[in-house]
Amino acid sequence: MPVAVPAPPAERTTTREPYLRLHWKDDITGARGFLVVDTLVGGLATGGTRMRAGCTLGEVEDLARGMTRKTAAFDLPVGGAKGGIDFDPKDPRAVEVLSRFCEAMRPFLDRHWVTAEDLGVPQHLIDEVFAGLGMRQSYHAAIERSGDPAATAARIFRGLTAEVPGGLLGDVIGGYGVAQACLAAAYVRGWDVGRTTVAVQGVGTMGGAAAWYLHEAGMTVVAVADAAGTLYDPAGLDIPALLATRDRFGEIDRAAVPARVQCLGREEIIGMDVDVLVPAAVSYAITADNCASVTAPIVVEAANAATTIDAELDLTARGIAVLPDFVANAGAVAWAWWLILGEVDDQPGTSFLRLSREMTAKVSDLLTRWTPADGPVRWTADVSHLVREVPPVVVP
């Protein structure tokens, strides 16, 4: 039976203006780009740069606001920002567009904005662009604050490129955090991990790593979706084998898919009969138009802003818990700053252990004290309205 969801507290209905909005237009292609600094803490803000056709200023604002929540949720000494470019990342001119965008944003990238990979922009690519512009790496603004920038940059490079099961540590750590959030949710609900089923929308950096580590932990990943459609096997998919066939755009080679696996429509992933649904592809994947098809009792937002506000209210009224992105997928930014600050190094075990402990504690606390009558889980977890006084960042 649906439950009555209370109105949101006043501080969550008031739209706070971001610290800074910047618009950019590429003279060559006509591509438009945006930088939104939602909050500046200690002179710094952090958030990735995405590229997709149709990216809007409103989308980038939402994402920047989410970064503020992430940094607050994990008590990081930095504010939230986001960059976005309205351009197709598959276009052969995409790298040049990204380079010109970063060149235009150079004053902020030099001193105030620490960026990284996001949708359509892998980490190795943005690092190459930074190198071409004479900056060490996309964490440039933080690196230059250190006492020994060369040593700090070397530590960051070793951490990002450390080889781990499933790929490179810098590529998989965010998905590992999502997997830990799913496992913690199953534990709170008292589910047997081996009998818990999961569907993952998106098999790029975040979704692919989440699926890989969930499979490794023993959960049954019965469905994954990419741009070409949904792959479904009720007995469980061979996730490592499927991921090994991905192209550079994160799409699985259908010629390598076993005959027993059903090939369904791309949108069917949302309505899969599973215990945990992980939207890990694009923002606003679950909307008022499709949320009625969601039956999974737990939704874990691996993509930023994966669920619209109205859809989240509907799901909550039906007793479905939506673990918000600023907790569930914040492992990547939390780990990046632990690495920048020297709190973890290039030893993967240290990073995995710390992220597992922190993610498990946060998700367990949220779900243990949450009921649908309280409103969406994000209201319980929301920290964006908190004013934080933190000292300036000191990078060793």
Say how far apart CA 250 and CA 244 lie, in whole Å. Answer: 10
* Annotated catalytic residue within 70, 82, 90, 362: 82
Q: Cβ neighbours of residue 59 under 8 Å, at least 6 residues apart?
A: 84, 283, 305
Query: Phi/psi at 161 (nearest 5 deg)?
Result: -105, 10
**181, amino acid identity:** A
Q: Cβ neighbours of residue 357 under 8 Å, at least 6 residues apart?
A: none
User: Encoding tokens for residue 348?
Assistant: 């993967």
| Per-residue CA distances from 143 to 46, 64, 83, 229 (Å) | 13, 21, 19, 41
Catalytic residue list contains 82: yes
Say how far apart CA 285 and CA 82 lie, in whole Å. Answer: 19
Output the CA angle 150-77-382, nearest 5 degrees: 140
257 touches 226 (CB < 8 A): no
Question: What is the dihedral angle through the alpha carbons of 192, 372, 355, 249, rounded to the nearest 10 degrees?
Answer: 90
Q: Which residues are catalytic?
A: 82
